[in-house]
Amino acid sequence: MRGLRTQVSDLRRSVFVEIARIAYESDNVKDDIEAIPYKLSPTEEPKFRESIYRERAVSAERARLAMGLSLRPQNRPVHITSGLEESTIDAMYYEPPLMQVIPSACNACEDNVYEVSNLCKECLAHPCMEVCPKGAIIHQNGQAYIQQDKCIKCGRCKAACPFDAIGKKIRPCASACGVKAISSDKYNRAEIDPDKCVSCGMCMVSCPFGAIADKSQIFQLVRCMKNGGEVIAEIAPAYVGQFGADVTPDKVKAALLELGFSQVYEVALGADIGAVAEAHQYVNHVVNGDLPFLLTSCCPSWAMLAKKQFPEMIQSVSRELTPMVATARSIKKEHPNAKVVFIGPCAAKKLEAMRHSVRSDVDFVITFEELDAIFEARGIDPAKVGSHGRLHNATGAGRGYAVAGGVASAIEKCINAYYPGVEVKIEHAEGLDECKKMLLLAKAGKKNGCLIEGMGCPGGCVAGAGTLLPIDRAKREIAKIVKDSTKQIPPKELEEIELK
């Protein structure tokens, strides 16, 4: 539902805006946060739910997650602001799990249930009854009826119905989860298995009730910026077009500077470094036979999937820093006392930044959706700001990392330029279902000699859980900026980012 304005997206945005506004302006933070559910639902007439009490309960939990706090327990009273003092420090990181199901918001959707609709014509042939292997279908009240206690979910009745009168109910969040991490609790509410979850966020954007949300660092980032000091933004290449059709890259930079960031850098610069390094790795280790294949490492959900479910392949996962980390480390070399904020499309990057090896490099992670709310809280319209010059000169290769296939394409272009005559075997998968299939084929030895790109989100980074733009439009924006880039590939010996 990226790019589609709904009541769910409006509610998420409203909570983010309120949290940012309170962090900037409030002299009485606790009271103002406790009041958020009443500010969003000021009358006794509910706007989103059947009950005003349920509506406010959901807003309360969303407010906690927007402050980076965990959901409250269901069996004892806890204030919305409980734990706030501990969360206001600059070094506060997310306490896993990142993806959370809000119990009061979950609609307990039925999953894998076949049901006859009112399209049933009670036809004489009744093929649904004839094909059912368990005799689960009877006629009741003038139409076919499926006895759920006998149904084995084979779907033969649905396939046989000439009127398409039999529907299959699925839980949208579970259907979107490519690692099968979502099941049901004893109340039939969605439940996420943290051992399987790779935090891609596809369940969150697929839930039509807004019952799944991730944690945010909006509150901590704003407080940090208010405290002064150098805070530098690094923005992922998928940002192009995310903040409006009239918001050009130079306006995004200007809006970030107006917000209070001291400098702004493209994460595509780190992607350039990654493309160079992985081009060399492929030739030196795969072509020369040290590794059977090379798996790209820039998508944290893909890398987590490979490491969790295919541990025997860990040696084939690229050791190169992700673009987020490569860019941040280069920034900190020149600005050792600065706080670095990654702004991107991806929920999983929030967990990547938690790793002990990364914490000193990336201080905060926010999504485009969260940044857009901060702009609103500060009254900044990126379309109306004046230009402060272009973003730094990354190449088309690095900027192309934002779309599925772009990483492999960038590396292939580098190999063709640096190692003329070397054959490059490219494979890429997008969406965790397809990624898992690709890894199974690689495990079976059917992808030997390949450079394999995996993207956890179908479409690539432009389809991440924190994006604002419809995926097709976002792809077109990336294609344009890649084409218009002054340089198409980075030099062979690129080892560090030029921050000038």
pLDDT digits (tens, 9 = 90+) for 132-160: 999 999 999 889 999 999 999 999 999 99
Both 163 and 308 in a single domain? no
Both 269 and 308 in a single domain? yes
In a domain, 490, yes or no: no
Both 133 and 185 in a single domain? no
Report the share of the chain in percent with pLDDT over 70. Answer: 96
Q: For the domain that residue 247 is a member of, what is the CATH number?
A: 3.40.950.10
Both 119 and 214 in a single domain? no
- pLDDT score recorded for residue 205: 95
Both 405 and 375 in a single domain? yes
- Domain total for the chain? 3
Going by pLDDT thresholds of 50, 70 and 90, the confidence category of residue 93 is low
Structural domain span for residue 79? 7-107+176-220
- pLDDT score recorded for residue 258: 96
Both 180 and 260 in a single domain? no
Going by pLDDT thresholds of 50, 70 and 90, the confidence category of residue 97 is confident
Q: Which amino acid is at 249?
A: P
In a domain, 498, yes or no: no
pLDDT in tens, 314-368: 999 999 999 999 999 999 999 999 999 999 999 999 989 888 777 789 999 999 9
Q: Which residues contact 98 (CB under 8 A, 6 or more apart)?
A: 199, 214, 215, 347, 348, 350, 351
- pLDDT score recorded for residue 388: 76
> Are 326 and 273 contacting, i.e. CB atoms less than 8 angstroms apart?
yes
In a domain, 493, yes or no: no
- pLDDT score recorded for residue 497: 56
Both 196 and 147 in a single domain? no
- pLDDT score recorded for residue 498: 55
> Which residue, among 7, 175, 190, 225, has the nearest Cα to 99 in the 3D structure?
190
Torsions phi, psi of 146, nearest 5?
A: -95, 120
Both 294 and 374 in a single domain? yes
Both 180 and 164 in a single domain? no
pTM of the model: 0.93
- Report CA 42 to chain centroid distance, whole Å: 31
Q: For the domain that residue 120 is a member of, what is the CATH number?
A: 3.30.70.20
